Structure 1
């Protein structure tokens, strides 16, 4: 494909849409791969896929292969789901929660998310979903952004306690956060400090991208 070849020299935008939830959504050929971007940041594939792959590798691919149910809060184009299915060859169930139906439409059209049989997509607010769900999960991936902003509820103790309560024993939370200033550094350290150390171990991974910091929480009992 000529667009793919040219994208090694210059990004080639092939789709742009205004979304009520995500404002601008763009699909672009960049360095030979399709990526999904908002107005100011990468939403799926590209650098975001590298970040979440790094987090999954830290948890351990062998451990992930033994899991039976993974929850993804914030699907966008589905790059982390593709990593799970195509690269790790995870065979268990995946539930993806995405608030923006336009995003799922684009993910199905350009990134073939609809072809993943073990994936169930739920169009819902992540906060509402975690309050309602009766399931327990081996891994919860939290990757929720509104362009470059993260909703405040993600860092509130009520929400973190709730998602921790949805973990099976030895289950993990992989939380992708964006750091743009010192206040965000303070926010992340406060978040970690409020995790119950008797029930959970938690750590921040060294950054591989300037503005993203991954937090991993493991249920130890």
Structure 2
């Protein structure tokens, strides 16, 4: 049945429609067109704004572009856009997509020709309330990230997190400077990297180490460096542990709620000498951390259990400092259909959960948590909950416009008596140590 374009005359919040049409540049392929209206209704009297994105060639099957959740995050990252239209080759239309993605060299003339051919389609898919002059101003946006090439290692499904993708990527971290990473992504939020670690080429006599690629190169994991944006600030928080306390252990103990790829757990054990315990609710995530991200049994003892239940269970039987931890680190998130990802889940900061967490910490210990606040009110309310249970509250702004690290102390703290900075500075930028401030 033919699609009636009149259904696009008005904005309908959260409506998602996808369909295929003949490709004007190829007689053997179809174009997939996906139209999503923003779930956030504008209160302004001005007409709705429309934008289109041409999906990068050979990335058409990437969850970022082929799923509604990926489409939604692209839309929410474009302020004031009411409707976002994605146009790209149909990922279900054949086997023409390579197993290894390589960023194609740009052809601006070809892009402009395709844009001109698709302009009438975009106009037809725009709301009728768009005034005439605005039809010519509907922008075609170019999606650009730092991925130079990528290769899929495995897709898996966890009973709690759903579909997952493990991939190796080559990224451009600076102009002309590239690096190889292993990444874990979840389909429910494909635009975000859940975990990543650096991988480095092994020296090989059969292939030059100066021109490695994802294919034909053997890689090894580098667990000596944390590359995920907020993990380094979380480690910087260790400087608030009361190192000079009489009860401080020669080998400090860390409890990590939320394992992911396990990079933080491995780093704490191998680089800083912590005794590490982890808690992960999804056994498939734990399997992936061990198979692909180098998490070893000797590095951390991991419990497959809900983090809240673990805290409550252990706090009820914790009767001496030897059973307690010097640091509790929490890296958990929840997905909201409007705001995308937020952290932590609201149920994790209930008063009884925070009290259980405090019980599991020694008097010199700290509670460290990754926070992605959807708004200022959420963040202020979160801080209030911590102040009700803990003695002092500190903050590190990660600087990416998204993450904050909150640090709560069981007892008042002297910043000069913390975990030795010389133990941290080889791996932690001094800027994050200096960025710690009491709030």
Change (3 A) 1:11 1:183: farther
Q: Does 1:204 align with 2:204?
A: no
Q: Contact 2:289–2:295 at 8 Å: present in 1 too?
A: yes
SS of equivalent residue, structure 2 residue 288: helix
C-alpha separation in 2, matches of 1:18 and 1:28: 15
Query: 1:77: which partner in 2?
Result: 261
Query: 2:229: which partner in 1?
Result: 50
Unaligned runs of 5+ in 1: none
Query: 2:370: which partner in 1?
Result: 176
145, 148, 154: which is aligned to 1:9? 148
Q: Which moved more, 1:184-193 or 1:99-108?
A: 184-193
Matched ranges for 1:122-141 at <5 A? 122-133=303-314, 134=318, 135-141=323-329
**Whose RCO is larger (CA < 8 A, sep 6+)?**
1
Query: 1:99: which partner in 2?
Result: 281
C-alpha separation in 2, matches of 1:11 and 1:210: 26
Q: Contact 2:167–2:184 at 8 Å: present in 1 too?
A: yes
Structure 1 residue 16 displacement after superposition: 1.7
Q: Contact 2:253–2:274 at 8 Å: present in 1 too?
A: yes
Cα deviation, 1:40-97, whole Å, max 9, x if unaligned, reads 22222269733121121243399599542110011111121122234xx222321100
C-alpha separation in 2, matches of 1:48 and 1:146: 22
SS of equivalent residue, structure 1 residue 128: helix
Whichever structure has more helix as a proportion of its residues is: 1
Q: Contact 1:22–1:146 at 8 Å: present in 2 too?
A: no
Structure 1 residue 157 displacement after superposition: 1.3
- TM-score, with length taken from structure 2: 0.44
- For the pair shown, which has the larger CA radius of gyration, 1 or 2? 2
Structure 1 residue 122 displacement after superposition: 0.5
SS of equivalent residue, structure 2 residue 368: strand
Cα deviation, 1:24-54, whole Å, max 9, x if unaligned, reads 2111223301121223222222697331211
Structure 1 residue 110 displacement after superposition: 0.2
Cα deviation, 1:149-189, whole Å, max 9, x if unaligned, reads 54322121111121012111211111011123344323333
Aligned CA RMSD, in angstroms, stands at: 2.9
SS of equivalent residue, structure 2 residue 302: strand
SS of equivalent residue, structure 2 residue 380: helix
Matched ranges for 1:153-164 at <5 A? 153-164=347-358
How many residue pairs align between the two structures?
213
C-alpha separation in 1, matches of 2:228 and 2:267: 8
